[in-house]
Amino acid sequence: MKILLSEEQLRQGVEQLAREITEHYGHRPVTIIGILTGSVVLLADLIRQLDMPLRVGVIQARSYRGDTTTPGPLSVHADLLPEVADCDVLLVDDIFDSGQTLQRITGQLNALGPRSVRSVVLLRKARSRETAIEPDHVAFEIPDEFVVGFGLDYHDAYRNLPYLAVLEEAELD
C-alpha cells in the first residue's frame, strides 16, 4: 500500500474541520449524523474536538458491495436517526466521491424539517460529479484512487489503519 495521508496529517485535518464547524455554529446545539460505516473514525475524532451542545446519531448508507471498487446502487437505512425537526444538522461522511450519498441523505433529512443541514467530509476525490451538491467542509482533496484506512474499507478490511492508503492493483485482486 502507498500511504497517501499520515496519521499526523489526518489528525491536523480533523482539527481544522472542528475549527471550521465551531466557527460556523458557535455554541448553538448541533445534531451530528454520522453516515455508517466509513465515518465512524472521523465521527469519533471530530466530536471530541467540538465544544458545543450536540447530539449524535447515525444513518447507514452503502453503495460498494463485493469485489467492486466503483459505487453501485445506494442503499440507505435511517432506523437509528434521531429526531431532527427544527435542529441544525451536520452530516459527517468519510468520502465525497460521486455525490450520490450526500445528495440522497440530505434530501431525506430536509424532508424531516430541520432548521439547517450542512455536511462535512474527510476526503473529496478529484473527479467529475454526478450531482450538483458539494460538502460544506472538506479536510482533504485526494486523487481519484481507491483508498482505505481511517474508517474506509475494502471488503470490510483496513478500516482500522490510522493512516489513509491507496490500494495497489495486486491488493485489489
Residues with catalytic annotation? 97
Whether residue 57 contacts residue 2, with contact meaning beta carbons closer than 8 Å, is answered with: no
Rounded to a whole number of angstroms, the CA Rg of the chain reads 15
Cell of 120: 462535512
Q: Which of 90, 21, 13, 86 is nearest to 51 (CA)?
A: 21
Identify the DSSP state of 69.
S
Could you tell me the strand order of the sheet in which 54-62 lies? 75-77, 54-62, 30-36, 88-96, 116-125, 137-142
Q: Give the DSSP H or E segment for 90.
A: strand 88-96
Residues 6+ positions from 109 with CB-CB distance below 8 Å: 33, 84, 89, 91, 117
Cell of 74: 445506494
